[in-house]
A and B are shown apart, each in its own frame.
Chain A
Amino acid sequence: AQTVTQSQPEMSVQEAETVTLSCTYDTSESDYYLFWYKQPPSRQMILVIRQEAYKQQNATENRFSVNFQKAAKSFSLKISDSQLGDAAMYFCACICSNDYKLSFGAGTTVTVRA
């Protein structure tokens, strides 16, 4: 069964505009961890933002913020003031079990139009 689902294979955004990437996940645990990773063509996976499930406050990192809806098991990423360097594949991931394994979604390709 798919633990993490990203329903948007591709998203396009105009430079300086905002784009929101969707992610849903499945877990029966009460405590878990959610992540957004960025993977540019260089293949290097870079952590963008993370959220602990026990924290109600949405995480923010500069232009990146999340909308964490625990009851709906939803974890969307908002990229504000999009820049050309934001173009990449974005993966939603979860440590959803009582272990250390990351479960990844299929990814969303973000293109930024100049």
Chain B
Amino acid sequence: GAGVSQTPSNKVTEKGKYVELRCDPISGHTALYWYRQSLGQGPEFLIYFQGTGAADDSGLPNDRFFAVRPEGSVSTLKIQRTERGDSAVYLCASSYLPGGPGNEQFFGPGTRLTVL
């Protein structure tokens, strides 16, 4: 079956602009996660959804970052007034939540965001 997909694959924007990054999880997966991976580092947690609601958004760095999942499937990560420090690969993952926290998180290929 289809895996997690993310669009766009690459996004180049100018400082101060608004961007949206999209994630399509695996069908039937109720949990969805966003991570950010800076160059040469491991991914860092941003936000986690159970169904439509954000169960944990403690990783969002500031109020310029926001994410939604209105119908419990596709999610959009929104970044306002982008800064050069936002440049990173943004990874999305999904899992079948009823299995518990040890369930495998399946990752998408990520969106590479470059802020000029």
Contacts and interface: CB of A to CB of B under 8 A. Distances in A.
Interface of A: 4, 33, 37, 42-47, 50, 52, 91, 93, 95, 98-107
A47 to B, nearest CB: 5
A113 B33 CA distance: 35
A99 B57 CA distance: 12
Contact of A42 (B105, B106, B109): B109
B25 interface: no
B107 A101 contact: no
Given A100-B55, A100-B101, 5 more contacts: A44-B107, A52-B102, A91-B43, A98-B101, A102-B33
Contacts of A43: 89, 91, 109-110, 112
Interface in B87-111: 89, 91, 93, 95, 97, 101-102, 104-110
Nearest to B59: A101
14 contacts: A33-B102, A43-B110, A44-B107, A44-B108, A45-B91, A46-B107, A99-B56, A99-B101, A100-B97, A100-B101, A101-B59, A102-B93, A102-B105, A107-B42
A112 to B, nearest CB: 20
Given A33-B102, A50-B102, A45 B43 contact: yes
B113 interface: no
A42 B95 CA distance: 21
Interface string B20-46: 000000000001010100001111110
B34 to A, nearest CB: 11
Nearest to A105: B42
Contacts of B55: 100
A101 B56 contact: yes
Nearest to B6: A43
A102 B35 contact: yes
